[in-house]
Copies of this chain bind each other. A is one copy, B any other.
Amino acid sequence: MEDADPKPIARKGPIEREDVLAAALKLLGPQRSVSTLSLREVSREAGIAPNSFYRHFRDMDELAVALIGLAGGSLRKVIREARLRVSAGGEVVRPSVEAFMEQLEADEKLLHILLREGTVGSDAFKQAVERELHSFEDELRDDLIRLSQVQWPRAHQPALVAKAITRLVFTMGATAMDQPPQRRREVTDQIVEMVRMIVTGAQALAAGEGKDGD
């Protein structure tokens, strides 16, 4: 029955980029950011010799950018999740924020990278993070425009609203991750309220403009 060595886990094939990425992810945490990971450390965690690392990535920077790709996937999951919840019920803001926060907890390591590390690291890394955030903003902007045709009053500058909401939610989410679960729920409520302020404000400003002209 036991036709393999007991210690090493049965491999489904040779080590892949993904295995190395998984090892890197495993090392991340509240105290360890991507930029503090060393090539040797990641290799050790992945169970390969340090020089084998080069078979998969040119250097640690390339690995960092690949991690952003993974994080981007996680982010798209957030969006999908939020859309599902919104289309089901009437409320918009709270279910979306809650979807975000839940994904944040489930996927902790991945979204962390987008949340906290976009401002440090190599140029390539920062640009990759910015690209993901922008794609999120674009999705949100389109959703806002759609909503304003269906059930909401016309919003003032949807692109700007999307940007404000995105940046605010991400920063607040980043600080929430350092808190115990109970405080996180408070932060969720705060975020919901903040987003409502932005949306309400945008609508009020649009209405104010509407009176004058157009």
A residues with a Cβ closer than 8 A to B are 31, 33, 35-36, 115-117, 119-120, 122-123, 126, 130, 156-157, 160-161, 163-164, 167-168, 170-172, 174-175, 178, 190, 193-194, 196-205
Contacts A126-B178, A178-B126; A197 near B164 (Cβ below 8 A): yes
- In the bound complex, do residue A168 and residue B164 qualify as a contact, i.e. CB atoms below 8 Å apart? yes
Q: Of B119, B130, B167, B205, which one neighbours A168 at CB under 8 angstroms?
A: B167
Q: Which residues of B contact A203 (CB under 8 A)?
A: 204
Q: Which residue of the partner chain, among B119, B172, B204, contacts A201 with CB atoms under 8 Å? A: B204
Q: Are A120 and B126 in contact, CB atoms less than 8 angstroms apart?
A: no
Interface of A is mostly: helix
- Distance in angstroms from A28 CB to nearest chain B CB is 11
**What are 16 contact pairs spanning A and B, CB under 8 A?**
A31-B122, A33-B35, A115-B119, A117-B120, A119-B119, A119-B174, A160-B194, A161-B197, A163-B190, A164-B198, A167-B171, A168-B168, A197-B198, A197-B202, A200-B205, A201-B204
- In Å, the complex CA distance between A163 and B203 comes to 21
**Complex Cα spacing A36 to B36, Å:** 8
Q: How far is the CB of A160 from chain B (nearest CB, A)?
A: 6
Partner of A119, one of B117, B161, B193: B117
Tell me, in angstroms, the Cα distance from A167 to B164 when the chains sit together: 10
Contact assessment for B156 and A197 in the assembled complex, using a CB-CB cutoff below 8 Å: yes
- Closest partner residue, chain B, to A168 (CB atom): B168
